[in-house]
Amino acid sequence: MPRSPPGVAACETAPNIALIKYWGIRDPERNLPYNSSISVTLDRLRSRTRVRFRPGLTADEFRLNGVRMGGGPLGDVRRFLDRVRDLSGVTDHAEVRSTNNFQTASGLASSASGFAALAGAATLAAGLDLSPRQLSQLARLGSGSACRSVFGGFVEWRRGTRPDGRDCYARPLFDEHHWPELVDVVAIVANAPTKVVRSASAMQASVRTSAEFARRQRELPARIDALRRALKNRNGPALFALIMEECDSFRRVCETTTPSLNYLTRTSREVLEAVRLENAVRGEAVAGYTHDAGAHVHVFTLRANATRVRARIQAIRGVSATHVLHAGPGPRILRVTRG
Ligand code: ADP
Ligand code: DP6
């Protein structure tokens, strides 16, 4: 890892939506998951982060969307910067400024794009030149899902089996141009609650208390294989059926956690029901829903059906907006200046 003096760097990354969910950590110290997961990195949504190491600064500072952060978010960023300092030998503290052009902490994966952008900007500002795989492993330590946002397109995070985590990282399956007909209509749900507990903590309650967790782990390898195949063959109906099955399995684990985790609002549930109805009327899966730990719902469909599906969802009371997204590119470096 070549080094040069610390300076300033900025990086832009996109959130990803998990088609196969990461939910459960087997090693909290190294952030190693119980299962592999698969996601799509999205276009249009982004986190843009600038890191400046400054001699004389007495503590790291973090501004998110113009607001000076303290508490958990600041602590998470500081711990992450400590890892970058350990790797690089840089001793200065840093100013971190980040903006998300979408809602933070509401299930649209701001932690994924946020920590992938921080990993990119902080390592470059510290003079490190990491490979994409090393960057993925580093980003994973900030937020598990962030290890997938280091790549564009369709991405798999392999759980690995080594106790030291060296075989646990994300890798691209197909780039963002693989399946241009695939559309993600995101239903933005009005009054979606802001999460107070990060997903990484919530999922550990599921590991401890949900009777469904072990069953889900047994089912996942076959579902992951089937999903990889559906993506490879660009098979819409197979993909849509699989992501709904997976999302329902994830939601069952959440709901059987003590205390129960309920991320959806009534409106979110109406969106799921609308997709089920549309598929029933059409006699095949023309669309498939999925959601992360939050109320907004992603509805995947093919371009030929996108207008109809979008209109159907937009008409649901409580859906405040719909965004039409596609698979998007990986990180973009915006600036690097050595100190
Ligand atoms: P989400 O569903 O948006 O990923 P989480 O609760 O899992 O929600 O994570 C949200 C947390 O991620 C925030 O409270 C903050 O600590 C962190 N975060 C979000 N955006 C950024 C960012 N751009 N840079 C650094 N950290 C961020
Ligand atoms: C349901 O990795 O985003 O979105 O580390 O708290 O940010 P934090 O958790 P995170 O958890 C992701 C959970 C999920 C599924 C997924 O993205 O695979």
What are the pLDDT digits (tens) for 202-224? 999 999 999 999 999 999 999 99
Residue 225 pLDDT grade (very low, low, confident, very high; cuts 50, 70, 90): very high
* CB of 54 closer than 8 Å to CB of 96: no
Quote the tokens at residue 273.
């029901």
Query: What pLDDT was estimated at residue 303?
Result: 98
Where do the structural domains in the chain lie, given as residue ranges? 7-178, 182-325
User: In whole angstroms, what is the distance from residue 291 CA to residue 299 CA?
Assistant: 9
Residue 194 pLDDT grade (very low, low, confident, very high; cuts 50, 70, 90): confident
pLDDT digits (tens, 9 = 90+) for 104-160: 988 899 999 999 999 999 999 999 999 999 999 999 999 999 999 999 999 999 999
Judge if 7-178 and 182-325 fold alike in CATH terms: no
Give the residue whose CA is nearest to atom 11 of ligand 2: 199
CATH of domain 182-325: 3.30.70.890
CATH number 3.30.230.10 given to 7-178: yes
- Which run of H or of E encompasses 182? strand 182-189
Burial of 153 (0-12, 13-18, 19+ CB in 10 A): buried
- The yes-or-no verdict on residue 309 having pLDDT over 50 is yes
For the residues 55-84, what does the mean pLDDT come to? 97
Q: Which atom of ligand 2 is nearest to the CA of 31?
A: 5
Q: How far is the CA of 4 from the centre of ligand 2 (A)?
A: 33
- Does ligand 2 lie within 6 Å of residue 61's CB atom? no
Task: Among 22, 204, 247, say which to mutate for ligand 2: greatest number of ligand atoms within 8 Å of CB.
Answer: 22
Quote the DSSP letter at residue 307: H
Pocket, ligand 1, Cβ cutoff 6 A: 47, 49, 64, 72-73, 76-77, 98, 100, 104-112, 114, 118, 195, 198-199, 292-294
| Nearest C-alpha neighbor of 243 from the set 64, 40, 50, 5 | 40
Task: Among 16, 63, 104, say which to mutate for ligand 1: greatest number of ligand atoms within 8 Å of CB.
Answer: 104
User: In whole angstroms, what is the distance from residue 320 CA to residue 322 CA?
Assistant: 7
User: In whole angstroms, what is the distance from residue 314 CA to residue 74 CA?
Assistant: 36
- Does ligand 2 lie within 6 Å of residue 115's CB atom? no
- Does ligand 2 lie within 6 Å of residue 24's CB atom? no
| Nearest C-alpha neighbor of 297 from the set 187, 182, 185, 183 | 187
Q: How far is the CA of 200 from the centre of ligand 2 (A)?
A: 6
Residue 134, CA atoms < 13 Å, CB-side half-sphere: 11
Q: Which atom of ligand 2 is nearest to the CA of 200?
A: 6
| Nearest C-alpha neighbor of 191 from the set 266, 275, 251, 255 | 266
User: In whole angstroms, what is the distance from residue 66 CA to residue 246 CA?
Assistant: 37
pTM of the model: 0.96
